[in-house]
Each structure stands twice: as C-alpha cells, then as structure tokens.
Structure 1
Amino acid sequence: MSSTTSSSSRAANGGRRTYASLAESLIREVVDAVDPCPDRANDVLSALREEWTAATAAAKAADADTTVPTTTIEMLKATGIGRVLTKTVRSCRRHGRTSSEREAWHDAARAGEGILTSMKAAADEEARAMSASSSSSSSSSSSSSAKGTTTTTKTSEEAGLPSSTAEFRARLVRQGKEMYKDPPSLPPHRAIVESKPAPAPPRRNKSTGELTFVAGADDGIAVALRDFRPNRTPEEVLRAGSFGGTYFRSITSAVTNARYASSSALADTVRPEWISGLDKSTMLTSGTYRTSVNKYGVKCGGSLGMWESSGWISDVDPYGWFQWYCRFYSGRRSSDDARQIGRWAGVAGKKGRFRSQLCNKILAAGTTANDARISPVIRQTLLHWGLEITEDILEKHRRR
C-alpha cells in the first residue's frame, strides 16, 4: 500500500469518528434534549459543515492523485450521520414553531438541510461513477473473454445480491426507486430454501379463524410459530381486495437485479384456485394503484423501493412479505422464515403496533370489532399482513 493510500485510509477512519461524535451530539443536544438550545445546535452543525467541506476537498484531491475512491456512501452508512441530520432538521423545525428563538432554530434547520443536500449530491455522483465504472469493467471483461481469457468481473448489471451498499444504492438510483433509507440497508443474506415442504398443511381454529403452522426440517422456528397466528389465508387476502390490485405487477428488483413478469410471479407464488374468477388485470397485476379495489377503500403501504432500501426484501421473495406468506402457507420453508415471522409479530402479533393501535381505537370508541369506520387505513394494512380484528382478538387485547 502506498503512503498516500495509507494516509487517506487513516484520514477516512478519523473522519468517520468525527462524524459519529457529531451525530451523537446532535441526538443528545437537539433531537432528544428536553430543553435544547438553538445556539448549540448551530455550533454543532457548523462544525459538521466544516468537517464535511474539508473531507470533500481531501477526497477530491486523493482521487486526482491516486486510485483511492471517495467513500461517501460507505461513510453515511457507517456513521448514520444522514439519518441523524434528517431527524435534526425535523427537530429544529418543530422547536422553531414553539420557541421564542424562532429565527435561530430556522437557521439551524436550513444549515442541516444544506449539509444533507450536499451529502446526497455527493452520494448520487459516487453512485453514478460506480455504475459507469462497472459498465466499463463489464465491457473489458467481454473483450477479454472474446480473446480466450477467463477474466470475470461482477458488476451492478449482473443478477444477484448486491455486494456493497454503494452497489445497492446504484441499482436503486438507476431503477428510479424511492429510498426510504439513504444510504440503503443491504438486503438479508441469501436465503436457503428447504428441499422438502412442511410435513403438514396449516390448521384453522373453527372458532377464531386463526391459522397454525408447523416447522420444516429446521425446527428453529418452532417457538416463533407458537405466536404466529394470522387469521386470513392468502386467498382471503386477495379476494377481499388488497394492495390496490398491484401486488403481482411486473417489477425490476434492486435486491436481485432481475426483472419479474407478473405472469411468472403469479405462477410461482399463488395457487390457481386462490385467484380463480378474479379479474387479474384489476385485482392482481395492475400497474395503477386503485383504492376502489381495496376492501376498505383506502390507500396504504409503501413503495417497493421503500421496502428494498429498508433492507426488508429477501432474494427468494423479491415482492415482499405477502409473497413469503403465500409460499409459507403452501408449505415452503426457508432460512428466512424466522425473520419474516418476526416482522409479522411486530405489526400484527399480540403486541404488534398496528394491531394494538386498532384495538385501542375500537375500545376507546366503544364500538364493535368490525366497525369499518374506525381506522380503515390500519384495517387495510393489517389485512395485507393476513389479519383482521375479531371480537375474540379485541377481548384478548382488553384483558392484557
């Protein structure tokens, strides 16, 4: 390693420590502070701006003199400074609405926005440069192969999981996806699908409608399965009217970097009898979200890019949780099951946030479990997770 490269690496590590320290100060003294001071907020943001300006200049000089690349995306990922800045700007705006030092808080918000904009611009430029470099490497690889050599280069154009945050971000940018997290969180590790289906189909409680499932060859999810109790089957979710009719539309996945046709997605995920008689183009594969399709007549849920950039989409189920649920219901078992069951528990389990919120609202209104006037958006969301609030669920929540 050259002395220039070594010194650049040391500088990068030092810069990350500085960013992490400043991020901690912003959280402690602005975001979570009981009685925050706008002057202190401006001081920390000023220090952050100076550090960012100096680091940007140093990185450009390093790129001009050596082969050391800038690492804006990796820095944002490692330090979390981008997310902290977003929270800080929101906090400054909120404080500015109620504080007597309104202008000082607005100055802090503008300062934070300026730094955040600059960081995002640098990350975008880096992603474009990486994409261009990958394309160039791909061309070189093709040329070498034509000459009989065995040179291979993994590029962002190839199918498969991304090898780095920078590559994943480049995919999301190229595909025009919304990024809920920027830099994005990498997808879960490659999932392993068991060769044999579960030894028994799901069973249904005739009284409550709750479904119970058995583990496959790996019984590591047995404990989690005790509380995994959706009460709507995949067929019932689809026939009720869900996802604005768009769930099985054709997509390009940033997780696998592959294109999926709606017809193939349906064939690989859904049993024919589940959708028999449905207008597929309206209820299942539409490219246009229609609230009129949904059971509760409202829109809910995020974009595919939102889920991908949050690190929630696996390579075996590129459409998301409901695709996993369809396949799990049909007997497939994989190494991703525990994670997906955990996600369900956080949303629709006994203490899941949406389930609890809806039950609390129903109880506060003194009405019945199926009163659709109470939070139709939460009801539609829970339906997408295979759950509808029943009197049994409501009573259990009441007794908690």
Structure 2
Amino acid sequence: MPDTDTQTVLSSLQQKIRSETALDTPNSERCIDILNSIESTILPEEKGKRKKPMVSLIATLESSGLGKTLAKSLKAFRRHKRTDANFEPVFEKCNSLLEKLKEEAKKESKASAAAKTKNIQADGLSDNGVVSFPPTVAVYRARLVKYKKELYKDPPVLPPRVDVYEERKPVPKRAKNGELIFEDQKDFRPNLTPEEVLRAGAFGGTYFRSIVSGVTNIHYKAEDAIKETLPDQWIAGMNKRQLLTSQSYSNAVNKFGVKCGGSLGMWESSGWISEIDPYGWFQWYCRFYDGRRSDDDLRQISRWAKSAGPKGRFRSQLCNKCIAANTNARDKSISPVIRQTLHHWGFELTPELLEWHRKNRKK
C-alpha cells in the first residue's frame, strides 16, 4: 500500500495540474514545475541515480489515478502546443514522465513475479519433520503440482490452521442400537469403531501408505503413521502390508469388494486436510475416538454429518434405495459403492436405522 504522505502530495499535485489544463491559457512554466514535482515525488533521485521508491509504484498508480491524470494532461498539452510553442517542452516532459512510469512499473512487476517464483522454488520438502504450512495459494498450488497431486480444485483451497487441545476425553460408549456415544459430541454417532473399519477392509488397503503431504510438506513413512495413529491392539494380527500400507489399491481388500473415494490430492486441493491429520478424515476419527480433541473437531464432525449423519447424503441415498427395492438394510447388492463409502465414514446401515429413516425421511 502507498504511504499516506505520498498520497497526499500526489493528490495535491494532480489537482494543480488538472486546474492548469482546465484553463484556456495555462501557464507553461507552472505546468513544468508541477510535472517535475510529481516526478520527484513518485520517482525520487539520489546523487544522480534513481532511487527505489519507498512504496509500491504500481499500488500508488492504482490508488491515486495518476496515470489517467497525466494521460489527460498530455492530450491538453498536445492541443496547446499547436498554438503556443512554449508548450512543446511541457508536452515532452509529460510524455517522458508517462514513459518512465510505465517502464518502472514494468520492472517492479517483473521483480515481484521473480520474488514469488523464488519463494515457490524454495518451498522444498522438509527434511526435519517440521511442518511447513503453505503461506499462499500460489505456493500451495506449486507444491501440489511438484508432488504430482490431483488438483480437484484449481486454484486449490488453503488448508485450515488448527491446534490440538491438551485435554483428552474417554473412548465412547456403545448404545443399544450400535451407535457410538461421545460424551462431548452427542450428535456425532458413527456405529463402527476405527478398528472395525480397518479389520473389515477399507481404503483398498492403502490408507496408511507412505505419503508426501502437500499440506505439511513432510514425507511420512507408513510405519510412523501407523505408530502415531493406531493403538497396537487395534491392528494386532492384521496383515499390515496388505490391509494398511499397500501402495496399490485393491478392491478385493474392501469389505464390499468395490473401489470408492478420491485421491489424497483431491482432498488436499479441496482444503479438507489439516496439518494435524495429513492423511485425512479417517486419521482424525482414529485420534478423536482415542480421546484427542482439537479445534478441528467441529469441522470434521460436520463433514461426517453431511455424508453419514441422519440426514447425510450417502446415508439417505442408501436408505432410499433399500426402501425403493423393498429389501432389507444389509442387502449388499444395493449400492455396494455407497456402502463402502459409508464404511469409510464409520457407518453401517442397520435395520433399526433404516426403519428410523423410513419414518423420518419426510419430516
């Protein structure tokens, strides 16, 4: 932003030059003096060399409208020089000043672009485990492209900034209908624990594979991700390489034998991934279930509600399809892709919940 003093001086000088050019017989000497004052204000010189302006030239030109004022003045001076030779140097001075401003603005624009490129190129992969949050959309996009991530949204949405609370909560209790009851989030009621999701078969066996996070700029190793997210008892006896850390997606691993879900790049470019859970929603769920709390919880619970909550779109779609087909809640032939999707959200349709939907869907 241009500073206030520069703006005030330029505003006064512009008013003077406009007043002169509005006269039938403007004073050529005063016009030269005003133009010199404008130049020394916006393009100061020091010891015969042009000094870099203290403020952004482009911002100053945009906010002050100086370029338009000088362009109009140039037309007036061209008209006056036809009948008064004294306006020849005035015209030349004004024209020269306009050209200088254009040239300096062009240099500033190139320098700014070069600085942005340098910052983006310097945004290398963290080798010390320190989170490097993308400061701008441009840096974030360059990072996602560099790591060959899917740009589901382009430009991407910057990830949320979140903090973890020190206070922890007990694991949830299970209601008679199978839903999990969290004492501090009564409306969040999945009915599958993270362990149940993984043991039944999920994410094509790839969820905890090694990744490079576009959000944190850190390379996460599969074994570290598992160690930092999953209690040992949850995965005891499981084939980790096949069910958790595979680099290739396997439909056969999934409970319903079908592929579903988007890529990590899709989630990252959509602004859905936070720095504390770089693997995504299910990693958040694992940690939330195990007692961690953060200021990202409400956002993540809202995402669950929109997908698998009582009025969630995937849950509602599955219920409506079952009702339309006049079949039971566990009929796997009805929308296996939606069932697998809901499975990843920690939800399985039960007869009780289907009946609840049947009674409440029109309310």
Q: TM-score, normalization: structure 1?
A: 0.63
Whether 1:197 aligns to 2:239 is no
Mapped partners of 2:103, 2:205: distance in 1? 51
Question: 1:63: how far off?
Answer: 7.7
Question: 1:286: how far off?
Answer: 0.2
* 1:357 corresponding residue in structure 2: 317
Q: Cα deviation per residue 1:137-187 (whole Å; 9 max; x = unaligned)?
A: x5xxxxxxxxxxxxxxxx455542111111111110110000110000000
Q: Is the 8 A contact 2:57 2:105 kept in 1?
A: no
Q: 1:6 aligns with which of 60, 68, 80?
A: 60
Question: 1:214: how far off?
Answer: 2.2
Using the aligned pairs only, state the percent identity. Answer: 56
Match runs of 1:258-269 below 5 Å = 258-269=218-229
Match runs of 1:1-400 below 5 Å = 1-7=55-61, 64-67=106-109, 130-135=116-121, 155=123, 157=125, 159-189=131-161, 191-198=162-169, 200-205=170-175, 207-215=176-184, 225-400=185-360
Question: 1:61: how far off?
Answer: 8.3
* Partner amino acid, structure 1, of 2:167: K
Question: 1:62: how far off?
Answer: 8.2
Q: Is the 8 A contact 1:8 1:62 kept in 2?
A: no
* CA gap 1:9/1:343 in 2 versus in 1, 3 angstroms: farther
Q: Is the 8 A contact 2:210 2:221 kept in 1?
A: yes
Mapped partners of 2:56, 2:243: distance in 1? 60
Q: Is the 8 A contact 2:197 2:346 kept in 1?
A: yes
Q: Is the 8 A contact 1:5 1:66 kept in 2?
A: no
Q: Is the 8 A contact 1:156 1:162 kept in 2?
A: no
Mapped partners of 1:226, 1:173: distance in 2? 40
* Partner amino acid, structure 2, of 1:6: T
Q: Is the 8 A contact 2:192 2:347 kept in 1?
A: yes
* 2:14 corresponding residue in structure 1: none
* Partner amino acid, structure 1, of 2:269: S
Q: Is the 8 A contact 1:188 1:314 kept in 2?
A: yes
* CA gap 1:6/1:68 in 2 versus in 1, 3 angstroms: farther
Aligned pair count reads: 266
Mapped partners of 2:307, 2:112: distance in 1? 39
* Partner amino acid, structure 2, of 1:7: L
> Structure 2 regions of 5+ residues with no counterpart?
1-54, 66-101
Question: 1:197: how far off?
Answer: 1.4
* Partner amino acid, structure 1, of 2:171: P
* CA gap 1:130/1:281 in 2 versus in 1, 3 angstroms: farther
Mapped partners of 2:256, 2:271: distance in 1? 29
Secondary structure of the residue aligned to 2:150 is coil
* CA gap 1:9/1:351 in 2 versus in 1, 3 angstroms: farther
* Partner amino acid, structure 1, of 2:181: T
Secondary structure of the residue aligned to 1:399 is helix
* Partner amino acid, structure 1, of 2:61: S
Q: Is the 8 A contact 1:202 1:213 kept in 2?
A: yes
Mapped partners of 1:61, 1:386: distance in 2? 60
Secondary structure of the residue aligned to 1:326 is helix
> Structure 1 regions of 5+ residues with no counterpart?
12-59, 72-125, 139-154, 216-224
More helix by share: 1
Q: Is the 8 A contact 1:161 1:255 kept in 2?
A: yes
* 1:38 corresponding residue in structure 2: none
Q: Is the 8 A contact 1:201 1:331 kept in 2?
A: yes
Secondary structure of the residue aligned to 2:227 is helix
* CA gap 1:268/1:2 in 2 versus in 1, 3 angstroms: closer
Question: 1:3: how far off?
Answer: 3.6
* CA gap 1:2/1:316 in 2 versus in 1, 3 angstroms: closer
Secondary structure of the residue aligned to 2:157 is coil
* 2:70 corresponding residue in structure 1: none
* 2:85 corresponding residue in structure 1: none
Larger Rg: 2
Q: Cα deviation per residue 1:122-142 (whole Å; 9 max; x = unaligned)?
A: xxxx9xx8454444xx5xxxx
Moved more, 356-365 or 225-234: 225-234
Q: Cα deviation per residue 1:214-247 (whole Å; 9 max; x = unaligned)?
A: 23xxxxxxxxx22211000000000000000000
